[in-house]
Amino acid sequence: MMGRVLALDVGDKRIGIALSDALRMIASPHSVYTRVGYGPDVKRIRQIYDENQCTLIVCGLPRNMDGSVGFQAEKVMALGEKLMEAGLPVEYQDERLSTVSAHQALIEGGMRREDRKGTVDKVAAAVILQSWLDRNA
């Protein structure tokens, strides 16, 4: 299946957003959305999904290091349920250490600490999405 994929790195305060290309080969950071509540969050995600002609949403699932589903993963799945109720297709991708990888990439790129806060979430979403794309190539 082809078409762009939208990826989400869901946090309590912010959602990092990334998009794939239409051939599903490359993930790119898109934006960071500040959460308001399920209704507005789903509406904004749907808007980005529609504007970019996406065919799938991949949510990073923050499993515990032993692979179990913890409290934070349950929060992500609750948003995923709301997205599915809105008619959007959702899959999950293990995101263990994606934020660590995103921080390391930004540090290696020379980004200053104060500038990383507004960027790390969308870069983490791109890391999650690239993992999903590579696994499903």
pLDDT of residue 67: 77
Dihedral angle at the C-alpha atoms of 20, 23, 26, 31, nearest 10 degrees?
Answer: -20
For residues 77 and 90, give the distance between their C-alpha atoms in angstroms, rounded to a whole number.
10
Q: How far is CA 13 from CA 45, 63, 110, 133, in A?
A: 15, 19, 26, 26
Domain that holds residue 14: 4-135
Burial string for 47-69 (b: 16+ CB within 10 Å, else e) reads ebbeebebbbbbbbbbbeeeeee
Strands 54-61 and 4-10: parallel
pLDDT tens, N- to C-terminus, the chain (137 residues)? 689 999 999 999 999 999 999 999 999 999 999 999 999 999 999 999 999 999 999 999 988 778 788 888 999 999 999 999 999 999 999 886 556 565 566 556 665 666 556 677 898 899 999 999 999 98
CATH of the domain at 115: 3.30.420.140
pLDDT of residue 19: 98
Rounded to 5 degrees, what angle do the CA atoms 38, 41, 46 make? 120
For residues 121 and 112, give the distance between their C-alpha atoms in angstroms, rounded to a whole number.
15
pLDDT of residue 96: 64
Structural domains of the chain, count: 1
Q: Do the Cβ atoms of 7 and 58 come closer than 8 Å? A: yes
